[in-house]
Amino acid sequence: MKRIPYILLMLIILLIPSCESGEGVCTKDIISRVNAGFYVRDSVGERDTLLNNFTFSGALRPDSLIYDSAAGVQKIVFPLPHSTEAYTSFLFSADALTGTINIYHTPSLVLVSYACGFTTNHNIYRVSHDTLLIDTVSIVNPLVNLSDEENLKIYIKPAVADTVV
Amino acid sequence: MKRTSKYTSSLLLLILLFSSLSAQQQGSRVRGPRIGYDLASLTLLYFDPERKIYTFSVDYEAWQDIYPVIEFGYQNVVLERDNYRYGSSGIFGRAGVDVNLLKYEQPNVYEMFYAGFRYSIAYLTHQAEDIMIPDDYFDGYYGGSVMENQINAHWISVVGGIRVELFNNVFMGWSVLANLKLAQTEDVNMVPYNIPGFGQGGKRASIVFNFTIAYRIPLQRYNPKKIVKKRSEPL
């Protein structure tokens, strides 16, 4: 009879579910995007700059604009393709000036969570560009993932910045 | 036929031996290896049917109230989702000691309220395939995979539980393990869904419940050194 409390206690424990799963529901946007900012570097120093009438698209998707005649753009956010092509080209224009920027990147599949599934992170290892609008591009954080951390600093030519800002 | 009767007579002999051990006077205590199976994993059939785990344990009262324990198990996980398929399988082992905290008044009482510790190690492989990433700008990504990776983990645990003898040599009991992970192989592509014997792969600490049914093979009798004297009845 003394065992009954023990046995009852043991049966109660069977009712405790094995609450280990808990995947939850995915509420995240799972596309990794490049975060880039526009800057000017001159004799005064380095400062943010804004571009007006700014248009931006993938070179292979000129009909599908990521930015369309946007005003006061200092920061841009854009995706990279999941394929393993060596680089991806983007076309852009600010007022009447146009340019191209090529981003060399290595994609890798990474699990976001078991609820959301996978995303593609990218490692940017090189950036090339034409020199009409852009002075230089600096890779400040090569890893493109779901964070908002800035990856590229795009330095606009000071003379051009005076005309397009 | 001859072979069958030989086995039957051997089995009868063993049963007689065990029965005679059980029937002996109550001044001594039975011991032998106790082999258990964790029934708590059966609840996964309802709560987490994509994960299957089988856990066995062996303990032995090496010294009075002190039970060295080994536990081992196998786990298999298959997750079928719209945007990926994940698979994992692995094994784990735990070794440690349980100490019975109950003071009994008679030597042949085997109820336990115990505490103990474990050191555990697990090994698993996992992989993912049929990965899809929808993308509204560039074309979505279809059919990707993450190749099989091997993961090792080890952790320490404190354990507490109770155990009762339901029938002669048949025991049932539950235990709770509080685990603290010491190290785990890093995988840059994905954390394991579940580490066998530990729990969610991305966590540093976890709690695991076991509900064990066990059978003790009564191999030996011994006279315990410490017995709490029965309290005298009040006048």
Beta-ladder partners of B127:
B87
Is the CB of A20 less than 8 angstroms away from the CB of B48?
A: yes
> Considering just the CA atoms, what is the radius of gyration of chain B in Å?
24
Is the CB of B162 less than 8 angstroms away from the CB of A9?
A: yes
- For residue B114, what is the domain's CATH number? 2.40.160.20
**Cα–chain-centroid distance for residue B59?**
11
Residues A125, A105: Cα–Cα separation, whole Å: 6
pLDDT at B137: 84
Q: How many CB pairs under 8 A join A and B?
A: 107
pLDDT at A5: 61
Strand extents, DSSP E, B60-169: 66-80, 85-100, 112-133, 141-167
What pLDDT digit, counting tens, does each position of A51-110 carry?
A: 888 899 888 877 788 888 788 889 999 999 887 677 889 998 888 788 899 999 999 999
pLDDT at B229: 52
The domains located in chain A, with CATH, are 24-164 (2.60.40)
Structure tokens at A15: 């009712």
B224: in domain: no
Mean pLDDT of chain A: 83
Nearest to B164 among A7, A16, A31 (CB): A7
B100: in domain: yes
Does A114 contact B at CB distance below 8 Å?
A: yes
Phi first, then psi: what are they for B190, rounded to 5°? -160, 145
Residues B201, B199: Cα–Cα separation, whole Å: 6
What domain count does chain B have? 1
Does A64 contact B at CB distance below 8 Å?
A: yes
Q: Calculate how close chain B gets to A103, using CA atoms only, in Å.
A: 15
If one compares A6 and A88, the residue with the highest pLDDT of the two is: A88
**Structural domain of residue B59, as residue ranges?**
28-219
pLDDT at B150: 96
pLDDT at B221: 86
Residues A132, B18: Cα–Cα separation, whole Å: 94
- Give the pLDDT band (50/70/90) at residue A14: low
B52: in domain: yes
Q: Calculate how close chain A gets to B192, using CA atoms only, in Å.
A: 10
Collect all residues of chain B within an 8 Å Cβ-Cβ radius of residue A80. 138
pLDDT at A70: 83
Contact A46, A156 (CB under 8 A): no
If one compares A122 and B26, the residue with the highest pLDDT of the two is: A122
Structure tokens at B164: 């009762």
Q: Which distant-in-sequence residues (6+ apart) come within 8 Å of B129 by Cβ? A: B84, B85, B144, B145, B146
Residue of chain B minimizing CA distance to A57: B137
Cβ count within 10 A of residue A47 = 10
Is the CB of A114 less than 8 angstroms away from the CB of B193?
A: yes
Q: Calculate how close chain A gets to B148, using CA atoms only, in Å.
A: 13
Stated length of chain B: 235
Q: Give, for B36, the enclosing helix (H) or strand (E).
A: strand B34-38
pLDDT at B47: 82
Does B148 contact A at CB distance below 8 Å?
A: no
Helix-strand-coil percent breakdown of chain B, rounded to 5? 15, 55, 30
Residue A163 predicted with pLDDT over 60: no
| Least trusted range by pLDDT, from A23-32, A155-164, B83-92, B107-116 | A155-164
Nearest to B91 by CA among B58, B123, B117: B123
**Looking at the predicted complex, does its ipTM rise above 0.90?**
no
Three-state DSSP class for B1? coil
- Give the pLDDT band (50/70/90) at residue A17: very low
pLDDT at A43: 81
B94: in domain: yes
Residue A165 predicted with pLDDT over 60: no
Contact A123, A112 (CB under 8 A): no
Beta-ladder partners of A103:
A88, A127
Average pLDDT over residues A137-161: 90
* B residues 86-125 closer than 8 Å to A (CB): 86, 111
Nearest to B112 by CA among B64, B182, B145, B74: B64
Collect all residues of chain B within an 8 Å Cβ-Cβ radius of residue A66. 137
pLDDT at B39: 92
Nearest to B209 among A7, A18, A80 (CB): A18
* B residues 19-58 closer than 8 Å to A (CB): 39-41, 43-44, 46-48, 51
pLDDT at A112: 93
pLDDT at A46: 87
Phi first, then psi: what are they for A75, rounded to 5°? -125, 135
Average pLDDT over residues A37-59: 88
Q: Which distant-in-sequence residues (6+ apart) come within 8 Å of A151 by Cβ? A: A34, A35, A36, A124, A139, A140, A141, A142, A143, A144
Alpha carbons within 13 A on the beta-carbon side of A15: 5
Nearest to B133 among A18, A30, A66 (CB): A30
Q: Which distant-in-sequence residues (6+ apart) come within 8 Å of B164 by Cβ? A: A3, A6, A7, A10, B111, B112, B171, B172, B173
Contact A34, A124 (CB under 8 A): yes
- What is the full per-residue pLDDT of chain B (235 aa) written as tens digits? 445 455 444 544 444 444 444 444 457 888 899 999 999 888 888 888 899 999 999 999 998 889 999 999 999 999 999 999 999 999 999 999 999 998 877 788 888 999 999 999 999 999 999 999 988 888 778 888 999 999 999 999 999 999 999 989 999 999 999 999 999 999 999 999 999 999 999 999 999 999 999 999 999 888 877 665 544 455 4
